[in-house]
Chain A
Amino acid sequence: MSPAANGGHGVSPDFLNFIETVLNGLMTGVMYSLVALGFVLIFKASGIFNFAQGVMALFAALTLVGLQTGQVPFAHLINAMLGTDVHHWGPGLPTILAILLTMVVMIILAFIIEKVVLKHLVNQEPIILFMATIGLAYFLEGFGDLMWGADVKALDVGLPTGGSFWWEDVTRGWAPEGADYFGMYIDTLDVSAAIIAIILVIALTIFSQYTATGRALRAVADDHQAALSVGISLRGIWVIVWSISGFVALVAGIMWGAKSGVQFSLSLIALKALPVLILGGFTSIPGAIVGGLIIGVGEKLAEAYVGPLVGGAVENWFAYMVALAFLLFRPQGLYGEKIIERI
């Protein structure tokens, strides 16, 4: 369908470019929301800011690729110690099986974290728990390296990638006749990620609203002491919460990994989640979603419209500027609980 044949609807290309920027911003924002969601879950249930959330996503993605491609775990270590040369044990597992197994690994990880770290730090100051998660982040990064190797890996879980031609064709017809406009670009992988994220959030909401365990999670988030008195085991809940954020990390890891390869810089997306959390509030799940979308869109718009004025690279610092502004005027975030202190 050429613009001429269509006749055109007369929407100015500038406006179409604006819409394209917003759409792409929303897609990026969904990714940020996914990472921020993992933070919020743990923070709500235990008051811990889990610095290791990004590394958990990395670790999940590494494990998934390793299982999928049939890598031998700890291959370098085995080879160095035994003088052998093992690297692959076979053609690897089917994607679905690999994802399920990775989930099992994340649940085991949650158990170990509870047993080895959290159990001993009950009732400690938040800053101490935060430090513990920093330690956990570095340990997990090194452990992932040792287990699966440090090379950049491609992750393919069978999701479509590349620009959508259909959307390009549809939007091309929106510009006025004869305009120099070739349609909007939208990455199909981003679209899948957005759909999966939406399903994930709906599933989590249903789980927390309508099941007994979900009720227990909300109870613990609300009042620790009261939760104990009705017979909820805090440690059991922590394992569940860390498992769920492990699952969220896995989803985030798959999406980011499929987009830009599984590499160790993946762990840095944790830093991008910080402004999202400051915007949305540390205790609000809707806040994490909306915050992620705002940061995503804001970033892209700033890059497109402010970028040319200041020489680009706005995307790198924009989120942090927004967070800073929020800290000044609304420190509890958009949806966070109001901080009222008795003096």
Chain B
Amino acid sequence: MNQHIDPGSLRADDGIERGGMLLHVDNISLSFGGVKAISDISFDVKKGEIRAIIGPNGAGKTSMLNVINGFYHPQEGTITFRGEKRRRMRPHHAASQGIARTFQNIALFKGMSTLDNIMTGRMTLMRSNILSQAMWFGPAQKEELAHRETVEKIIDFLEIEHIRKTPVGRLPYGLQKRVELGRALAADPALLLLDEPMAGMNLEEKEDMSRFVLDVNQQFGTTIALIEHDMGVVMDLSDRVVVLDYGRKIGDGTPDEVRNNQDVIDAYLGVSHD
């Protein structure tokens, strides 16, 4: 099964062992005007694990992902990714460093076909310049075909062959989510950020998606950080969980540890102040 996609084949190896530190966020604080979205959050993601970020609505989960992939620039704190320390970064740099993501409210290119959407995921791995592309010149053509081959493997893997040529705007929600995962996978990501991959899905679609997430993690060794609301899914999938509430971190550990953490229980079930 491993010949499906060859992760890291094009991206330089970072020399981090499985289980070593891939991402480390330190004392991140982010505010919009006077509103604090995240205050002083630190956690890490180890290579090869599935790391879940959970918390009630408005806890700052999506903001955290946006900080990691460069959409938001935190006022304080640093991010260390593959040994490189930084505070602010542009999204396309984050992408070329190997951070791929999906969005809570699907952000696909609606007018483009499934195939084209997933091909855009290869963008950071393309080397030929615009002039040789315009001339449909030898190397550019060869490169396009090589990338196409990888993309076809991803399409096989996600079982979406039948919609290869369909404009994604016409697809049902569950399939769009799958195409979006495919686009992120196409980047050969070192770190895959999934923002509520199962939101709005029915049970069957959720099971499919869970299977894909696990397969990606186990077959290709891809490190995944995901936000999810379905606690069953989180507990089944993830190796470690970080819990946020009102922009602060209130818990961090294995699913079992987190489940028994009093602060987490309070945040989810509410606590009486008497």
Contact = CB atoms under 8 A, between A and B. Distances in A.
Nearest to B135: A211
A12 interface: no
A230 B108 contact: no
Contact of A229 (B100, B119, B128, B133): B100
B103 to A, nearest CB: 7
B131 to A, nearest CB: 10
Contacts of A234: 92
Given A222-B112, A223-B107, A231-B187, A212 B95 contact: no
B130 A233 contact: no
A230 B121 CA distance: 5
A232 interface: yes
A210 B119 CA distance: 11
Contact of A218 (B94, B95, B112, B123): B112
A2 interface: no
A211 B183 contact: no
Given A216-B120, A219-B112, A231 B96 contact: yes
Contacts of B83: none
Interface residues of B, number: 34
B119 A215 contact: yes
Interface string B90-106: 11101110001101000
B246 interface: no
B124 A211 contact: no
B126 to A, nearest CB: 5
Given A215-B120, A240-B130, A222 B71 contact: no
Range for the number of chain A residues in contact with chain B: 20 to 34
Contact of B95 (A214, A231, A240): A231
B134 interface: yes
B136 interface: yes
B123 A207 contact: no
A225 interface: yes
Given A223-B107, A223-B109, A225-B71, A212 B92 contact: no
A212 B90 CA distance: 21
A228 interface: yes
B186 to A, nearest CB: 8
Contacts of A227: 109, 120
B139 to A, nearest CB: 12
Chain B CB within 10 Å, residue with most, of A212, A227, A231: A231
B112 A229 contact: no
A265 interface: no
A232 B109 contact: no
B90 to A, nearest CB: 8
B109 A218 contact: yes
A219 B109 contact: yes
A230 B183 contact: yes
A216 B121 CA distance: 10
Contacts of A205: none
Contacts of A213: 130, 133-134
Chain B CB within 10 Å, residue with most, of A214, A225, A228: A228
Contact of B123 (A212, A214, A222, A223): A212
Contact of B140 (A211, A223, A226): A211
The 7 closest A-B pairs by CB, nearest first: A231-B95, A226-B107, A231-B124, A222-B109, A228-B91, A211-B133, A233-B92
Given A207-B134, A231-B124, A233-B92, 14 more contacts: A211-B136, A211-B140, A212-B119, A212-B122, A212-B123, A213-B134, A215-B116, A218-B116, A225-B103, A227-B109, A230-B123, A230-B187, A231-B92, A232-B92
8 contacts: A211-B134, A212-B119, A212-B144, A223-B110, A228-B95, A229-B69, A230-B120, A230-B187
